């Protein structure tokens, strides 16, 4: 079985490592294709730095759902407030807030409303 690196056309050595890194971050197992996830790379120099974390604005229409994981310690009302405040400041997105719960008898998640 060939490795995914074998599928990349030869490129100059200085950019090969970068291309392999991008390819690795964009590779997703077929078992997760149901997520219909999009990934975006942003320049950290254009982000807002807060408490050691980098934040970037979402493009209009790009954020549709915020799913809090089962072990997420954030209260849904806190996240909901942040979403509402962002919209009041002109953010161009409408995001539903959901919570993921592990199913007890299968390896799957149940997604439900968080509020």
Is residue 72 in some structural domain? yes
3-class secondary structure, 102:
strand
Of the candidates 89, 42, 37, which has an alpha carbon nearest to the alpha carbon of residue 62?
A: 37
Overall domain count for the chain: 2
Per residue in 23-53, pLDDT (tens digit) is 877 787 777 777 777 777 788 898 888 888 8
What the block records as the tokens of 80 is 């909901």
Give the Cα separation of 108 and 70 in Å (integer): 12
Contact 66, 53 (CB under 8 A): no
Domain region containing 22: 1-29
Question: Are both 21 and 70 inside the same structural domain?
Answer: no
Per residue in 52-66, pLDDT (tens digit) is 888 887 777 778 888
Question: Are both 109 and 66 inside the same structural domain?
Answer: yes
3-class secondary structure, 96:
strand
Is residue 37 in some structural domain? no
Is residue 13 in some structural domain? yes
Is residue 76 in some structural domain? yes
**Model pTM?**
0.55
Question: Are both 71 and 112 inside the same structural domain?
Answer: yes
């Amino acid at each position: 079985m060939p490795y995914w690196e074998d599928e990349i056309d030869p490129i100059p050595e200085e950019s090969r490592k970068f291309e392999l890194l991008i390819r690795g971050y964009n590779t997703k197992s077929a078992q997760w294709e149901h997520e219909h996830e999009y990934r975006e790379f942003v320049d950290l120099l254009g982000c807002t730095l807060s408490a050691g974390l980098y934040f970037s604005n979402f493009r209009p229409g790009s954020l549709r759902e915020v799913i809090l994981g089962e072990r997420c310690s954030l209260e849904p009302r806190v996240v909901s407030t942040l979403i509402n405040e962002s919209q009041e400041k002109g953010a161009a997105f409408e995001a539903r807030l959901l919570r993921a719960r592990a199913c007890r008898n299968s390896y799957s998640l149940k997604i439900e409303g968080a509020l």
